[in-house]
A and B are shown apart, each in its own frame.
Chain A
Amino acid sequence: MIVLKGITKIYKNGPLEVQALNPIDLRIEKGEFVAIMGSSGSGKSTLMNIIGCLDIPTSGSYELDGTPVESLGEVELARIRNRKIGFVFQSFNLLPRQTVLQNVTLPMMYAGVSREKRNERALELLRRVGLAERVKHRPNELSGGQKQRVAIARALTMNAPLLLADEPTGNLDTKSSHEIMALFKEIHAEGTTIVLVTHEPDIAGHADRIITFGDGRILSDKRKGSAGE
């Protein structure tokens, strides 16, 4: 599913160069549930952005679902983000002036899905995350947990094989966090590959595989029990 070879990222800040990622080699198979842990500045978010095609590595090769990504242009990258990847962010990243329903239909709009099919699919997903009666609300009328569920519904609309979650519970209370993690497990059980960035060990504990980051390199890579196939 994800094959990273010799991926590096160097940020240039004037004359200063910051090596955010040392050469990284990483393979994530289809259907895995991976947690990436590490303190802030460890490079885990940088890696996440590269996997999500939001950022481009300085060097190295990246193959996503069989497609070599590093050679793609902006239009193809946008298409990959649209079709192959669902994003869930710490700060939700919903469009504040659009309704819940509009937010969820947005990826389908860019994919050119017809209005009826979009609304049908969005309603189905909102029902699934338990927000069917909130479709006409705006994000600021929802609680943190509800916002994150809208974001998850949005990430699922295109049936993307990969779900990327960057600190999805970072802004949530314990109860909501557990609800969100239960939802992720459900989604994983249906066959979606999930990569989750967190610094909370108990959240990471939901995953089957935990990769720990530090100083721009992988410190450890552990599979839970014998499930390491």
Chain B
Amino acid sequence: MSVWESILVALDNLRMNKMRSFLTMIGIVFGVAAVVTVVSIGQAGQYSIMSELSNYEDGYFVIYPKSDNGRIEDNAYFRLRDLAEIRKLPEVRYVSSSAAHGMTGKHKKEELQFSITGTTSDSPKMKKIDMVAGRFFNSQEERARQKVVVIEAKFADKAYGSPQAAIGRKIQLSGGMFRIVGVYREQESLMGGFGGERYFAYAPITVMPGREGTNDRLSMLEILPASPEKMDETIDALKSWLADRKNVGKDAYVTESAEDAEQMIKSTFSILQTIIGSIAGISLIVGGIGVMNIMLVSVTERTREIGIRKAIGATPGNIRFQFLIEAVMLSFIGGTIGALFGLSAAWVFALISGWPFVVSLWAIVLAFGFSAAVGIFFGWYPARKAAKLQPIESLRYE
């Protein structure tokens, strides 16, 4: 009896008990669907955050004063004038700072909410800013405190019809009239959907509110080292310079690199996936117990059939294989349906959340491997029981 024939016989048997097979499969379907959904969404999330992180140049890191129970020593803050001096350090290639300010803008009498990031002209050299028209503001404009702005394409399209049409226009913001010099495309962000409708833009850090006069504290700096491999040396040099300059300890500052964030996100996701995956795995085990239960019932019901098969020449191995295949088919079909459900759920989630839809091969392999393993594991005992039945006693069974 070939494997293929055994599979056909098993399918035949399952078809003869449609309702029962279906109900038994549901447990496996849910278990596998849960595993596939969790793994797929997890990978999509990871992929989406990682692709955001890849917008930063290699070696990029930020540095900020360490807070002691929420308090930061005033002299530890960075100042605008520090930027120029840090740029002169041999270990540093570019330095910048970014801070977002909520501003109200006016366009054709309509009030619009903006989130304007005050930064330096070095910003586009450290992270990807996807320009679609015009240019980023330059260092002269920054030094001369010119009110120029780089707006996002979504706003350009809405207000002026196209990115090109926006160049050279002026827009009323809470900080005054700003001239549009460039249009960029905002990255689809993980958090993009939250916080209501607002538009993003970049403007020189020197024209942001609170930058005039002496109150020009910056809470963080963005650094790109001269060479990405020498990030640690750069951090060390920078900390020494700051400690010296600001009269604080070397440990008064903390750094965070894109690489650190990547590691952290990876481990966070893997912990999350392990936890949720384990819970999903439990439902798979419960499903497997369902398979075992129904197989035990089936063995008892078919005791006489087993006796007949043995009388005409079935070996214990033939019988064991027959029942094992049946259990595996049960969980395998359940696994297939579950995987389809899981992928559909992940796809729907991707549509709603804006995350990419990642068909995770790993999730599918896991689901099929798991369901087949469940079938073998929970089918083994009933199959063994069937194989061990004595032919003469089985034949007498009514």
A interface, CB within 8 angstroms of B: 49, 52, 54-55, 74-75, 78-79, 81-83, 87, 89, 93-95, 97, 106-107, 109-112, 115, 154, 158
**Given A93-B308, A95-B308, also A107-B392 (CB < 8 A):** no
- Chain B residues near A158 (CB-CB < 8 A): 313
Residue B243 at the A interface, CB < 8 A? Answer: no
Residue B312 at the A interface, CB < 8 A? Answer: yes
B interface, CB within 8 angstroms of A: 1, 5, 12-13, 16, 304-305, 307-318, 391-392, 395
Give the residue name and chain of the B residue nearest to A52 (CB). Answer: B311
Q: Contact partner of A79 among B16, B304, B315, B391, CB < 8 A?
A: B315
Interface pair B16/A97, CB less than 8 Å apart? yes
* Minimum CB–CB distance for B385 against chain A, Å: 15
- Chain B residues near A49 (CB-CB < 8 A): 392
- The 3 tightest CB contacts between A and B, nearest first, are A82-B313, A78-B315, A110-B313
- Chain A residues near B312 (CB-CB < 8 A): 81-82, 87, 106-107, 110, 154
Interface pair B391/A110, CB less than 8 Å apart? no
Q: 14 new A-B pairs (CB below 8 Å) besides A78-B314, A81-B310, A93-B395? A: A54-B310, A54-B392, A75-B315, A75-B316, A81-B313, A82-B312, A87-B311, A89-B395, A93-B304, A95-B308, A107-B312, A107-B313, A110-B313, A112-B1
Q: List 15 A-B contacts (CB under 8 A).
A: A49-B392, A54-B391, A55-B392, A74-B315, A75-B315, A78-B315, A78-B316, A79-B313, A81-B310, A93-B307, A97-B12, A106-B309, A107-B313, A112-B1, A154-B312
- Chain B residues near A75 (CB-CB < 8 A): 315-317
- Chain B residues near A82 (CB-CB < 8 A): 312-313
* Minimum CB–CB distance for A115 against chain B, Å: 8
- Chain A residues near B305 (CB-CB < 8 A): 95
A39 to B395, CA, bound (A): 21
- Chain A residues near B13 (CB-CB < 8 A): 97
Interface pair B314/A110, CB less than 8 Å apart? yes
* Minimum CB–CB distance for B152 against chain A, Å: 68
A55 to B393, CA, bound (A): 9
- Chain A residues near B314 (CB-CB < 8 A): 78, 110
- Chain A residues near B395 (CB-CB < 8 A): 54, 89, 93
**Given A95-B308, A97-B16, also A111-B392 (CB < 8 A):** no
* Minimum CB–CB distance for B298 against chain A, Å: 12
A111 to B318, CA, bound (A): 11
- Chain B residues near A95 (CB-CB < 8 A): 305, 308-309
A155 to B392, CA, bound (A): 17
A112 to B313, CA, bound (A): 11
- Chain B residues near A112 (CB-CB < 8 A): 1
* Minimum CB–CB distance for B208 against chain A, Å: 81
* Minimum CB–CB distance for A160 against chain B, Å: 10
Give the residue name and chain of the B residue nearest to A97 (CB). Answer: B16
- Chain A residues near B1 (CB-CB < 8 A): 109-110, 112
- Chain B residues near A115 (CB-CB < 8 A): 5
A49 to B312, CA, bound (A): 13
**Given A78-B313, A83-B313, also A110-B318 (CB < 8 A):** yes
* Minimum CB–CB distance for B336 against chain A, Å: 25
A74 to B312, CA, bound (A): 13
A80 to B21, CA, bound (A): 35
- Chain A residues near B318 (CB-CB < 8 A): 78, 110
A109 to B313, CA, bound (A): 9
A49 to B13, CA, bound (A): 29
Give the residue name and chain of the A residue nearest to B319 (CB). Answer: A78
- Chain B residues near A94 (CB-CB < 8 A): 308
A89 to B310, CA, bound (A): 14
* Minimum CB–CB distance for A111 against chain B, Å: 7
* Minimum CB–CB distance for B297 against chain A, Å: 16
- Chain B residues near A54 (CB-CB < 8 A): 310-311, 391-392, 395
A95 to B308, CA, bound (A): 8
Most buried by A among B13, B16, B304: B304
A87 to B315, CA, bound (A): 16
A47 to B109, CA, bound (A): 107
- Chain B residues near A79 (CB-CB < 8 A): 313, 315
- Chain A residues near B310 (CB-CB < 8 A): 54, 78, 81
Interface pair A111/B313, CB less than 8 Å apart? yes
A91 to B350, CA, bound (A): 61
A55 to B5, CA, bound (A): 29
- Chain A residues near B392 (CB-CB < 8 A): 49, 54-55
A107 to B1, CA, bound (A): 10
- Chain B residues near A154 (CB-CB < 8 A): 312
A205 to B209, CA, bound (A): 119
